[in-house]
Chain A
Amino acid sequence: SAVISQKPSRDICQRGTSLTIQCQVDSQVTMMFWYRQQPGQSLTLIATANQGSEATYESGFVIDKFPISRPNLTFSTLTVSNMSPEDSSIYLCSAEQKLDEQFFGPGTRLTVL
């Protein structure tokens, strides 16, 4: 399976600031995704990161709050903008290497004060 890394692994940020999370895959993949996992909860899809075009956002998530870049087939970034304590979560990227099978990165644990 693909090896997926994320940076940073964790961060503590101040309210009103922004944080950009990087996701790197060790092989080219067609589909990359960003998820949010709030404390003690399941995973919720934020958006599909499309290579060469704008990301596709799920209901409840907007580009102004979570801008996403996908400059090539191995890399994507998610920015959490104008953060508030409610944004404290684990943010996970995933990649689909084999049809219908998604593999996940280790996650970025974000705490907003």
Chain B
Amino acid sequence: GQQLNQSPQSMFIQEGEDVSMNCTSSSIFNTWLWYKQDPGEGPVLLIALYKAGELTSNGRLTAQFGITRKDSFLNISASIPSDVGIYFCAGQTIGTASKLTFGTGTRLQVTL
């Protein structure tokens, strides 16, 4: 089956730093989604990408849909303590009735 690998698996950064993480797949996806999950909560949708090459921003977050359709990137600028959490990518292919495949997750910790 499809697998989505995220890197890095975890990262410690200082407040104010920029963060980059990526998600790669062995298969092509038509939609990429990025979620953030806080402890004890469900994932919250951050950004949705629908076209290869698309670059979309949501505040300090920017995500890109890779040209090959097999990868996606998420950048967080000027990180703040509330950015702490686990970030998941998720992909969807046509013909799968909206089913999502989730990535392995990137755990972000921000130090003051």
Q: Once the chains bind, are B103 and A107 in contact (CB under 8 Å)?
A: no
Closest to A105 in B: B42
Q: Residues of A contacting B25 with CB < 8 Å?
A: none
Q: Residues of B contacting A102 with CB < 8 Å?
A: 33, 45, 90, 98, 100
**Closest CB of chain B to A26's CB: distance in Å?**
15
Q: Once the chains bind, are A42 and B98 in contact (CB under 8 Å)?
A: no
A100-B42 contact in complex given A42-B88, A42-B102, A42-B104, C-beta closer than 8 Å: no
Q: Once the chains bind, are A31 and B92 in contact (CB under 8 Å)?
A: no
Q: Give chain A's interface secondary structure class.
A: strand
Q: Once the chains bind, are B45 and A1 in contact (CB under 8 Å)?
A: yes
Q: Once the chains bind, are B88 and A43 in contact (CB under 8 Å)?
A: yes
**Closest CB of chain B to A30's CB: distance in Å?**
9
B95 in the interface, Cβ–Cβ < 8 Å? no
Q: Residues of A contacting B63 with CB < 8 Å?
A: none
Q: Once the chains bind, are A48 and B31 in contact (CB under 8 Å)?
A: no
Q: Once the chains bind, are A96 and B98 in contact (CB under 8 Å)?
A: yes
Q: Once the chains bind, are A106 and B42 in contact (CB under 8 Å)?
A: yes
A residues engaging B (CB < 8 A)?
1, 4, 31, 33, 42-45, 48, 56, 58-59, 92, 94, 96, 100-107, 109
